[in-house]
Each structure stands twice: as structure tokens, then as C-alpha cells.
């Protein structure tokens, strides 16, 4: 028995080394390659070879019959090994070919769709893929049937799934009301720029005040803001100074948006060095990064932080005038959302729109998995639901059906993971100091089955479950802020 456990450990180590090499290859860099995702195909082929030997098959069946012979850590390793083995076996049943070949075929068809080609050849593959998902999770969970929620519980852990699945479902109406309030129910008359018509020098004063407010979670460095001559906003830093290039100065609102975006990137860059984050896969990091960057430009806008910073630096004599603060806030909100409203494209990275697209993506994936409609109806479902929620439809099938590209790697729950990251970060309050942000702790059990030490703020959850009479359904944005925005 000891020899079998040693052989099992050796096999696990071989696969772990392969996984490390695979993670170093950026899947998205190969997205538009003539030879799509060659590294992923090679990785799968080697895994299939290792698990296809007589010795490996014997080990897996042996420890399926005698799991008590393994320690707790060895059982975790064995379960991971068994997932790979079942993936290979189930692919042969559903696709009549190894998983590596089907993965390569799916990726090739997906890339053609991304380029604007017909996706009709993709539909039969999606039907087979759905059958594969069901068979794979039935075997993993030992159940005759599985639901979408069962799959999420297996991937993210039952406690995390149960908590966030309900929260996400109940909060959709709040985000829809927020979207409609600010993007669809604008004032009929144009609000002119009175108080935000700031000069370049005045803009610099406001942005410097903003950086001062953000200093609690930004690296302990000096920040230097520069306009032009490089038209492309960027940032770089040395040991003591971070330089923010905001492009050519045109107006205050554009400069404010670029400054918030660059601060968000600095914030992310610092926390990316956290050990807890570096230990996670690209798939998990993608959820986290998406959840932060998209909203760094929105949180301060919705709060009155920037309004008060403007008054403090430009109109100090009106700092106690509540009516004046509201006028500044109204002007700020109007011109921020007006810019996004003029862009009627569903591909626009407007933060609230991105949240709702994640809701749509998750709902469509769930209904597709549960067999509510055939695969050929996927694009139609995207058009219908996008029109209902966003009053827009994708210009092509690319932003609809092809948004589910993670299916090509055998993954489900991408949109759920993004929404989960959003709620986990903004339900957890503010960091006390750099490298102590709640999402770092959250990542430690991102793939675990327990919430452990990390818990969201339940007061926030009650506010997310707002009744229809609530006029402000964006409590999460007003109260949870990036850097002491109040």
C-alpha cells in the first residue's frame, strides 16, 4: 500500500509541474493566433498520456475503492487527479475523441467567430459540450443528475455558493434600477458645465486632493501627475515616486476619469504582488482584477467625495453649503453618465453595464446548462435579454454567445466568479493598510469550501435587498468606497 501511495504522489507531482508550466502561458495572448492555443493542447495531450497508462488507471481505481488508505492531503491530491482522469474518459464518450482534440477544435471555431465568421459549425459542438458537462459533474459528484447550482458549489464551495447565489439573484433588481435611474432617466434638458469648468491648474489641485484621500491604501510613495505630451494615459514608478501620465489635457471630467483609472491600476499592481494572489490561477485572478478595475472609476463618482474635494480646493467658502454640494454632485453625475450614454454600443466598458452583462451571462449559462433552450438559441437569448436589461443588443454575435469562451476550457461559472468577486470586495469594508485588503484574505479560500475567517458585512446585504420604494438603490456604491470616500 505504501508503494501505491508513493506512485500516486509521483504522478501528482508530475502533473503539478505541468500545471505550473501551463499557467505561465497566457491563453489570451494566443486568442487570435493562426494556431490557436497550442500550449493548452500540448498540456492536455501530456495529461492524457500520463493518465492513460495501465499503472495510472490501476492507481485511480485502487484508491477509489480504498480512500481510507490516503491521508487528508493525499485525498485532495487524488481528487484533483481523478478530475483529470474523468475528464479524459468522459470526453471520449461525449466527443468520440480526446479532450485535447475537442478543446482545440472548439477554440478554433471560437476564434473564427471572434473574427466575424459564421458560428453555425459551433452549434453541434456546444450540444456535445453540454452533454459532457452533465456527465462530467455527475461522475464527480456521484449523482444521477446535476443542476447548475451543484456545479457552482463544486467549483467555489457549497457555503460560498449558497451565500452568493442567493445574494446575486436578489440584488439584480437593485442594479437594474440604478442603471435605469442614471442612464435611462436623464434630465430632458442639458445641464451645462458651470462649476466643473476647471482650468488645468485647478484640475491638478483637485486630483492631488483625491490622491491624498487615496493614500491609505496606495503605496507609500510620492505621486506626480503629468499631462501630455504622450496622448496615451499610463503610469510607471520607481522606488520612491509614481508618475501618472493622464494624456493631453482637454477638460476636467476626462482628466478625472483617467486619474481614477490609473490609480486603480496602481492599486491593483501593488496587491498583485501579494503571495495569496500569486498562488491563484489566471482564471481566478481575472475575476478579481475585473471586479476592481471596472469600478474604481465609478465609486468615487457616485459618492460625494469628489464633489467635496472640488469644493475644498476650488470653492472653500461654500464648504458648508449643502445645496451647493448637491449642485456639484448633480453636475458631476450628469456629465459622467452622459459620456457613457452617448455611447450606444453594448461593448462599451461602462461599469454598471458590465455588471448587468455578467448577470445576463450567468443567467444564460444556467438556463443553457439546465436545458431551458437549445444551443442554437444562444445568440437569440443574448439579444432578447440584453434588450430587456440594457435596452441595447450586441452588434454581432461576438459579445453574446462568444462571451462564454471559458467553455472551451471545460469551465463553468465565469460570470458567477466575477460577480462573486465584486460583492466580496465591496461588502468587506475598507483596508486598514496596504496589503491588508479583504480581497487578499478572500482569495485564500476562493477555491475552498468554507468562508473561514472572512465574512461580508451583513448590514450591506440587507441594503442590497432593497424594497421597491427605495429611491437610491446603489447603497453598495455610496457606502463602500475605495479609499475613505465618504
Among 145, 169, 202, the domain boundary falls at: 145
286 & 412 share domain: yes
213 & 284 share domain: yes
State the pLDDT at residue 437.
Answer: 39
Average pLDDT of 281-298? Answer: 53
State the pLDDT at residue 14.
Answer: 66
475 & 328 share domain: yes
* Peptide bond just before 229 cis, omega within 30 deg: yes
Average pLDDT of 406-434? Answer: 63
Average pLDDT of 133-144? Answer: 89
Q: Which of 93-97, 151-155, 274-278 has the lowest mean pLDDT?
A: 274-278
Say yes or no to pLDDT of 82 above 70. Answer: yes
Sign of CA dihedral 337, 341, 343, 345: positive
In this prediction, residue 373 has a pLDDT band, given cuts at 50, 70 and 90, of very high
470 & 368 share domain: yes
Cα distances (angstroms) measured from residue 233 to each of 13, 209, 229, 259, 296: 44, 20, 10, 9, 16
376 & 424 share domain: yes
pLDDT in tens, 106-120: 888 887 887 777 778
193 & 211 share domain: yes
State the pLDDT at residue 286.
Answer: 53
Q: Indicate the number of domains in the chain.
A: 2
Nearest to 225 by CA among 30, 212, 50: 212
Average pLDDT of 402-414? Answer: 80
State the pLDDT at residue 448.
Answer: 37
The more confident residue out of 225 and 298 is 225
State the pLDDT at residue 31.
Answer: 37
The more confident residue out of 323 and 264 is 323
State the pLDDT at residue 236.
Answer: 80
227 & 327 share domain: yes
State the pLDDT at residue 362.
Answer: 93
Average pLDDT of 308-335? Answer: 84
Say yes or no to pLDDT of 364 above 80. Answer: yes
Say yes or no to pLDDT of 452 above 70. Answer: no
188 & 100 share domain: no
Average pLDDT of 296-317? Answer: 75
Cβ contacts of residue 129 below 8 Å, gap of 6+?
A: 94, 106, 407
R_g of the chain, CA atoms, integer Å: 25
Which range of residues forms the domain containing residue 31? 2-145
Report the alpha-carbon distance of residue 417 to residue 155 in Å, rounded: 10
Among 85, 111, 145, the domain boundary falls at: 145
State the pLDDT at residue 290.
Answer: 54
Alpha helices in 226-281 (DSSP H): 252-272, 275-278
Most confident of 30-44, 91-105, 376-390: 376-390
pLDDT in tens, 1-29: 666 676 666 666 666 666 555 544 543 34
In this prediction, residue 445 has a pLDDT band, given cuts at 50, 70 and 90, of very low
88 & 173 share domain: no
Q: Supply φ then ψ for residue 410, to 5 degrees.
A: 75, 25
Q: Which of 88-92, 420-424, 430-434 has the lowest mean pLDDT?
A: 430-434
Among 126, 145, 164, the domain boundary falls at: 145
Q: Which of 116-120, 406-410, 476-480 has the lowest mean pLDDT?
A: 476-480
**Average pLDDT for the chain:** 69
Place of cell 444521477: 144
118 & 155 share domain: no
The more confident residue out of 332 and 3 is 332
The angle subtended at Cα 218 by Cα 213 and Cα 220, nearest 5°, is 105
pLDDT in tens, 382-396: 989 988 888 887 766
State the pLDDT at residue 98.
Answer: 81
**Residue % of the chain over a pLDDT of 70:** 54
Sign of CA dihedral 218, 219, 224, 229: negative
pLDDT in tens, 169-199: 877 877 777 677 655 555 556 666 677 888 9
The per-residue DSSP string of 127-149 comes to HHHHHHHHHHHHHHHT-S---HH
State the pLDDT at residue 218.
Answer: 66
Q: Which of 27-41, 81-95, 452-466 has the lowest mean pLDDT?
A: 452-466
Q: Which residues pair with 226 in a beta bridge?
A: 245
State the pLDDT at residue 145.
Answer: 92
The more confident residue out of 414 and 301 is 414
Say yes or no to pLDDT of 70 above 80. Answer: no
Say yes or no to pLDDT of 419 above 60. Answer: yes
82 & 160 share domain: no
103 & 164 share domain: no
Say yes or no to pLDDT of 370 above 90. Answer: yes
Q: Give the predicted TM-score (pTM) of the model.
A: 0.61
State the pLDDT at residue 293.
Answer: 58
Alpha helices in 214-251 (DSSP H): none
Amino acid at each position: 500500500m505504501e508503494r501505491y501511495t508513493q506512485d500516486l504522489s509521483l504522478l501528482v507531482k508530475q502533473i503539478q509541474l505541468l500545471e505550473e508550466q501551463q499557467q505561465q502561458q497566457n491563453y489570451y495572448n494566443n486568442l487570435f493566433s493562426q494556431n490557436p492555443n497550442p500550449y493548452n493542447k500540448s498540456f492536455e495531450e501530456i495529461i492524457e498520456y500520463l493518465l492513460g497508462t495501465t499503472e495510472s488507471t490501476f492507481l485511480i481505481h485502487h484508491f477509489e475503492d480504498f480512500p481510507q488508505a490516503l491521508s487528508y492531503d493525499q485525498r485532495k491530491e487524488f481528487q484533483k487527479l481523478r478530475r483529470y482522469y474523468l475528464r479524459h474518459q468522459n470526453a471520449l464518450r461525449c466527443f468520440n475523441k480526446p479532450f485535447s482534440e475537442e478543446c482545440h477544435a472548439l477554440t478554433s471555431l471560437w476564434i473564427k467567430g471572434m473574427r466575424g465568421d459564421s458560428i453555425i459549425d459551433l452549434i453541434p459542438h456546444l450540444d456535445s459540450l453540454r452533454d459532457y458537462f452533465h456527465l462530467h459533474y455527475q461522475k464527480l459528484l456521484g449523482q444521477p443528475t446535476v443542476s447548475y447550482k451543484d456545479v457552482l458549489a463544486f467549483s467555489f464551495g457549497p457555503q460560498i455558493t449558497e451565500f452568493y447565489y442567493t445574494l446575486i439573484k436578489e440584488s439584480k433588481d437593485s442594479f437594474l434600477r440604478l442603471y435605469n435611474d442614471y442612464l435611462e432617466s436623464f434630465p430632458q434638458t442639458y445641464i451645462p458645465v458651470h462649476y466643473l469648468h476647471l482650468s488645468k491648474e485647478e484640475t491638478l489641485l483637485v486630483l492631488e486632493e483625491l490622491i491624498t484621500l487615496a493614500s491609505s491604501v496606495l503605496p507609500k510613495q510620492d505621486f506626480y501627475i503629468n499631462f501630455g505630451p504622450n496622448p496615451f494615459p499610463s503610469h510607471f514608478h520607481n522606488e520612491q515616486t509614481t508618475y501618472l501620465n493622464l494624456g493631453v489635457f482637454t477638460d476636467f471630467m476626462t482628466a478625472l476619469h483617467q486619474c481614477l483609472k490609473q490609480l486603480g491600476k496602481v492599486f491593483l499592481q501593488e496587491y498583485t504582488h501579494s503571495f495569496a494572489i500569486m498562488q491563484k490561477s489566471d482564471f481566478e485572478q481575472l475575476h478579481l482584477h475585473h471586479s476592481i478595475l471596472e469600478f474604481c472609476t465609478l465609486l468615487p463618482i457616485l459618492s460625494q467625495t469628489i464633489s467635496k474635494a472640488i469644493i475644498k480646493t476650488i470653492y472653500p467658502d461654500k464648504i458648508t453649503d449643502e445645496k451647493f454640494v448637491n449642485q456639484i454632485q448633480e453636475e458631476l453625475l450628469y456629465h459622467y453618465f452622459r459620456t457613457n450614454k452617448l455611447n450606444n454600443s453594448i461593448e462599451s466598458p461602462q461599469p454598471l453595464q458590465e455588471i448587468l452583462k455578467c448577470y445576463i451571462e450567468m443567467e444564460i449559462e444556467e438556463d443553457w446548462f439546465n436545458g431551458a433552450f437549445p444551443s442554437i438559441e444562444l445568440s437569440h437569448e443574448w439579444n432578447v435579454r440584453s434588450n430587456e436589461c440594457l435596452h441595447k443588443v450586441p452588434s454581432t454575435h461576438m459579445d453574446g454567445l462568444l462571451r462564454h469562451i471559458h467553455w472551451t476550457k471545460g469551465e463553468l461559472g465565469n460570470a458567477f466568479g466575477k460577480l462573486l468577486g465584486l460583492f466580496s470586495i465591496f461588502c468587506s469594508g475598507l483596508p486598514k493598510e496596504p496589503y491588508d485588503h479583504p480581497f487578499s484574505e478572500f482569495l485564500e479560500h476562493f477555491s475552498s469550501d468554507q468562508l473561514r475567517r472572512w465574512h461580508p458585512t451583513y448590514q450591506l446585504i440587507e441594503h442590497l435587498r432593497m424594497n421597491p420604494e427605495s429611491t437610491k438603490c446603489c447603497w453598495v456604491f455610496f457606502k463602500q468606497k475605495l479609499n475613505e470616500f465618504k
